[in-house]
Chain A
Amino acid sequence: MSEIEQNRIFDTWLGQYKALLFKVVRAYAATAMDQDDLFQEIVIQVWHSIPTFRQQSSSSTWIYRIALNTALKWVGKERKHAAAQESLDSIPAILQETKVQVDERLTWLYEAIYQLDEIDRSITLLLLDGFSYKEMATIVGISESNVGVRINRIKKQLITKAKQQDHYGI
Chain B
Amino acid sequence: MLALKGIPVSNGVAIAKGYCLVEPDLSFSKITIQNNDAEIMRLNEAIEHSKIEIERMQAAATQKYGEDKGAIFGAHLLVLQDPELFVGVAQKIQSGMNAEHALDETVQFFIQMFEGMDNDYMKERAADIRDVSKRVMAHLLGVELPDYSRINEAVIIVAKDLTPSMTTQLDPTFVKGFITDIGGKTSHTAILARTMGIPAVVGAKSATMDIKHGEPLIIDGSTGEIFIQPNNEQIAQYKKVEEENKQFKQQLAKYSELKSISKDGYSVELAGNIGKPQDVASVLAAGGEGIGLFRTEFLYMDRLDLPSEEEQFTAYKEVLEALNGKPVVVRTLDIGGDKNLPYLNLPHEMNPFLGYRAIRLCLDHQELFRIQLRALLRASVYGNLKVMFPMIATLEEFRMAKTILEEEKEKLLLTDVPISTEIEIGLMIEIPSAAIIADLFAKEADFLSIGTNDLIQYTLAADRMNENVSYLYQPYHPAILRLVKMIIDAGHAEGKWVGMCGEMAGDKVAIPILLALGLDEFSMSASSILTVRSQLATLSKELLVPHVQKLLQLSTAQQVEQVVIDILK
To the question of whether A and B form a pair in one complex, the answer is: no
Residues of A within 8 A of B (CB): none
